[in-house]
Amino acid sequence: MTVAGDERKNHPSNTTAKWVLSQVTLVHPMRDQSLDFLKSLVNTPSPSGYEERVAQVYREYTSSYAHQVNTDFHGNTWAVLNPDAEMKIMLAGHMDEIGFIIHYISDDGFLHFSPVGGHDPTIPLGQRVWVHGKERVAGVIGRKPIHLLEPGERDKKPELHEYWIDIGATKREEVEELIELGDPVTFQVEFQHLLGDRAVARGFDNRVGSFIVAEALRLLAEEGGLDGGVGVYAVATVQEEIGLRGARTSAFSIDPQSGIAVDVNFAIDHPGLSKARYGQLDIGKGPSVGRGANINPIVYRMIKEAAAQNEIPIQISPEPGGTGTDANAMQVSRSGMATGLLGVPLRYMHTPCELLSLTDVEQCAKLMAGYCRLVKPDTDFTPRVF
């Protein structure tokens, strides 16, 4: 489907920027409702530990086609098909994003913060943020200007504790009317189309994974092909960015035989990265499929089979050990889960402008659904020689 400049149509600078419009054709492969769902997932703030709002978006969307939707005490949200089946597949896409948390408010009204998840300390300076207090409060991240840095400071990488948030307040009491300690903070950036099928957003890592598991479940519900004896649990997990914590609790309670995690994966297709060192992974050439110790070899074979059957291009992503994804926690849950890992190639990970291809996202959901259709009640996931 081709959509002409939807964001730009209503832009006030439209009249002076017609030359931009005439050259840009936005392409996306998704149904409009699906794209709207993806946009509302990424535009909803969800730093680790504060996922309630995005969980609500997830529940509302999936409850129109899932047989059961449930949120556990940890905050993980599951949408299920065939909840009574004994053979169970868990699909996991974490719905938390990196962010900040307020830990101190100074007498003169500045807010000091700690990171939630792994931040590049060169990123925050000059960014606009939302502080999610009693209401959403706008602020900016400040530091002393380059002119006033001491000799030697200019060459040094900044540290996160050197920054503060300025909401325009003049004293602590003014801040405390709106914000309390422990309130989370996110960058203001939201979803935007780029050329072709490319898009950027804050925290595609990994609301795009939650989107994919929800879409895979929808495809199974609406297009069929899932064995009635196989249950599928599409889980939007919590707290991945701070140690794969939600995957651990949800894998334990679902207790599935097999599972697939989906997360973003490093695109090795831009300046500054060596393919000889990191391997090749290109945006727009299909989802990545993990292979290595974190991946059950039978699951890997079945994912490849599903890709071939559905003519979905894939890129192999060798993983020498446990990955930094939910697949790691899932594989070692209880007595071991037959686990697979899919990835969406992504540039600029953990910055406010994470970039990906919407076609890759769509293909990844189809691949996940294709895998689920291949699982039968008697599928044997024991690694063995063929």
Just list the catalytic residues.
Answer: 240
Residues forming a β-bridge with 186 = 130
- Residue 381 beta carbon to Zn ion: minimum distance, rounded to whole angstroms: 28
- Residue 76 beta carbon to Zn ion: minimum distance, rounded to whole angstroms: 17
Find the part of the chain contacting Zn ion (CB under 5 A) among 5-13, 145-153, 204-212, 248-256: 204-212
User: According to CB under 5 A, which residues from 70 to 129 bind Zn ion?
Assistant: none
- 219 Rama sector, left if φ>0, alpha if ψ -120 to 50, beta otherwise: alpha
By beta-carbon proximity to Zn ion, the closer residue of 230 and 330 is 330
Tokens of 309: 């059957």
Per-residue x/- mask for Zn ion, residues 362 to 381, rule CB under 5 A? --------------------
Q: State how far the alpha carbon of 180 is from the alpha carbons of 102, 163, 184, in Å.
A: 8, 18, 10
Find the part of the chain contacting Zn ion (CB under 5 A) among 200-208, 283-291, 307-315, 374-382: 200-208
By beta-carbon proximity to Zn ion, the closer residue of 257 and 351 is 351
CA dihedral in degrees (198, 199, 204, 209; nearest 10)? Answer: -50
Whether 107 and 252 have beta carbons less than 8 Å apart is answered as no
Burial tier of 174 (Cβ tally within 10 Å: 0-12, 13-18, 19+): middle
By beta-carbon proximity to Zn ion, the closer residue of 183 and 205 is 205
Of 51, 183, 205, 354, the one binding Zn ion (CB under 5 A) is 205
Using the rule CB under 5 A, is 319 a contact of Zn ion? no
Looking only at Cα atoms, what is the longest distance across the chain?
Answer: 71
By beta-carbon proximity to Zn ion, the closer residue of 110 and 187 is 187
By beta-carbon proximity to Zn ion, the closer residue of 205 and 362 is 205
Q: State how far the alpha carbon of 152 is from the alpha carbons of 156, 174, 216, in Å.
A: 7, 36, 52
Which residues, at least 6 apart from 153, have a Cβ–Cβ distance to it below 8 Å?
A: none
**Beta strand pairing call for 258-266 and 87-94:** parallel
Helical (H) or strand (E) element with 302: helix 297-309
Find the part of the chain contacting Zn ion (CB under 5 A) among 1-9, 137-145, 205-213, 226-234: 205-213
- Residue 122 beta carbon to Zn ion: minimum distance, rounded to whole angstroms: 17
Closest residue to bound Zn ion by CB: 205
Residue 336, helix vs strand vs coil: coil
Nearest to 55 by CA among 68, 39, 72: 72
By beta-carbon proximity to Zn ion, the closer residue of 124 and 256 is 124
By beta-carbon proximity to Zn ion, the closer residue of 81 and 344 is 344
User: According to CB under 5 A, which residues from 251 to 280 bind Zn ion?
Assistant: none
- Residue 28 beta carbon to Zn ion: minimum distance, rounded to whole angstroms: 23
Find the part of the chain contacting Zn ion (CB under 5 A) among 44-52, 162-170, 199-207, 270-278: 199-207
Find the part of the chain contacting Zn ion (CB under 5 A) among 39-47, 170-178, 197-205, 315-323: 197-205
- Residue 96 beta carbon to Zn ion: minimum distance, rounded to whole angstroms: 9
Find the part of the chain contacting Zn ion (CB under 5 A) among 78-86, 136-144, 202-210, 245-253: 202-210
CA pair distance 141, 135, nearest whole angstrom: 19
How many C-beta neighbours within 10 Å does residue 10 have? 8
- Residue 95 beta carbon to Zn ion: minimum distance, rounded to whole angstroms: 12
Task: Please count the residues of this chain forming the interface with Zn ion, following the rule CB under 5 A.
Answer: 1
By beta-carbon proximity to Zn ion, the closer residue of 205 and 326 is 205
The order of strands in the sheet holding 230-237 is 68-71, 77-81, 230-237, 87-94, 258-266, 338-346, 288-292, 315-319
- Residue 317 beta carbon to Zn ion: minimum distance, rounded to whole angstroms: 16
- Residue 115 beta carbon to Zn ion: minimum distance, rounded to whole angstroms: 12
CA pair distance 363, 214, nearest whole angstrom: 13
- Contact footprint for Zn ion (CB under 5 A): 205
